[in-house]
Amino acid sequence: MGHSWWSILASFEIQNTLKTTVWPAHRNFFGLGDSYASGIGADCSKKIHEDEPKGVDCAKCPGAYPYQLANRYAPFNGDGGPGTTSSLFKFYACAGAKTSGIVDPPAPGKVSQIRQMRDYGNFRDFGFATLSIGGNNVGLSRVIKNCVFWRTKHCDEDWERAELRVSSQDLIANLTQTYRQILDTAEEPMFKLFVTGYARFFNEYTDWCNDLPLFPNIFKGPRTALTREVRARANKLTEVLNAVIQKTTAAVAADYQRRNYQKSVIFVDTDRIYNAQRWCDGTYRSTWRDDTYFFNAFSKDLKRDGTTAVDTDDVQPHVIDIGGINVNTCMDAADDAGDDEYMTRCAIAMVYADNSTLRATLGTVYPSDDGSGPSLQIIDSGTFTVSNIGTKAFHPKTYPLTAVAGNFYQAWIKANRW
């Protein structure tokens, strides 16, 4: 499928070649949020471990939109002509984060990203922050694992809980508290917080994928068919979440304006970047599971130039160990820990626990249908071997995140009236 955003990306490249020293002041910034901000899987031959709490793997990758913003645009990367220097960029985003991992004090066992800002200390000249947060509060990952990839015994409960959470006053209160704390922590009087939502995953109107599961055929257990109902329900959850995020940013911004503060929070809409590049767009093709703007379980990345990346760690077969997992408690434990990898193993363990025929196949290596793609082996050894197939699924690839970074750049320029 074509990549309609290439022309827009090219325009960002052209703007970025301008050599000027007349940039807005206070160009240092923070990259905050969850896995949508950490860029899990995107241009990730080598993870970024700077600014991580001790003992925590935040799954930060160079394709992340805050990282691209810091390294590809002249106001921030020092490529603005003679006398210009790079801005400071502190990358505190962490996969699995909820609002309770942003605010200070955080939930028990969590590391506060706002505390990291405060501990850094020397941020008088930090002028803004980028943020994506809220998806884990609602339980998007649980719905994906238990209802979209597979249908486990938790599906109905997780759908209903997510739909209740996304419309709750608790979500609004948690988002409001998060935005306010970030703004109030910042010392720069004109500090701006740029907030984005999440992308809808599906075209919910086509019919050709109604009977097709999203998870690749190498998994021989029961998988969820992408009916219109499933796609529409998943999209609706994302739409409502984005609307709540946008409404809350507007309310906080209006309150600061009423108090004559120059600090503000600004919503950056990035969902339209994914138009025509969602699952079930277009017509059927053999590559439909992998040629969207989102990672599937075994998808290769889509690089900034629109070419497909070559996996450097594609060890075969992909092995997932479901040994030692308590299927009655693992989903809540994974959710509380923000551990998407464990959540993937948990969901697969539940599928196997409910299917005696499937349990008899443990240890079998399943090749791809045509023999040329990835292979998969599910084992029950208790050694917790795991292939990193579930963590990046449903996250954006590098190519669309380049456009997301461009949207943030334009929002920053507009907010500074440059």
- Structure confidence at residue 318 (pLDDT): 80
Confidence of residue 11 (pLDDT cuts 50, 70, 90): very low
- As a whole-number percent, the residues of the chain with pLDDT over 90 amount to 66
- Structure confidence at residue 2 (pLDDT): 44
> What are the pLDDT digits (tens) for 207-227?
999 999 998 877 777 889 999
- Structure confidence at residue 102 (pLDDT): 97
The CA distance from 329 to 353, in Å, is 13
Of the ranges 259-273, 287-301, 318-332, which is most confident? 259-273
116 or 78, higher pLDDT: 116
- Structure confidence at residue 5 (pLDDT): 37
**Predicted TM-score of the model (pTM):** 0.91
Give the Cβ contact number of residue 124 at 10 Å: 10
Residue 128 has pLDDT above 70, yes or no: yes
- As a whole-number percent, the residues of the chain with pLDDT over 70 amount to 88
Confidence of residue 389 (pLDDT cuts 50, 70, 90): low
The CA distance from 172 to 288, in Å, is 36
Residue 18 has pLDDT above 50, yes or no: no
Largest CA distance in the chain: 69
Confidence of residue 369 (pLDDT cuts 50, 70, 90): low
* Listed range (81-85, 276-280, 393-397, 405-409) with the worst mean pLDDT: 81-85
Residue 12 has pLDDT above 80, yes or no: no
- Structure confidence at residue 1 (pLDDT): 46
Q: Please, which contacts does 218-221 make with residues 24 or more away whose CB atoms are closer than 8 Å?
A: 218/298, 218/366, 218/367, 218/368, 218/369, 218/373, 218/374, 218/375, 218/376, 219/366, 219/376, 220/358, 220/361, 220/366, 221/150, 221/348, 221/351, 221/352, 221/355, 221/358
Average pLDDT, the chain: 88
Domain 6-310+391-415: give its CATH code: 3.40.50.1110
* Listed range (3-17, 249-263, 373-387) with the worst mean pLDDT: 3-17
- Structure confidence at residue 253 (pLDDT): 98
User: Per-residue pLDDT averaged across 280-288, rounded?
Assistant: 95
- Structure confidence at residue 166 (pLDDT): 98
169 or 324, higher pLDDT: 169
User: Per-residue pLDDT averaged across 46-73, rounded?
Assistant: 94
Residue 161 has pLDDT above 90, yes or no: yes
- Structure confidence at residue 145 (pLDDT): 92
How many residues belong to the chain?
Answer: 418
- Structure confidence at residue 10 (pLDDT): 36
The CA distance from 227 to 362, in Å, is 29
The CA distance from 143 to 372, in Å, is 30
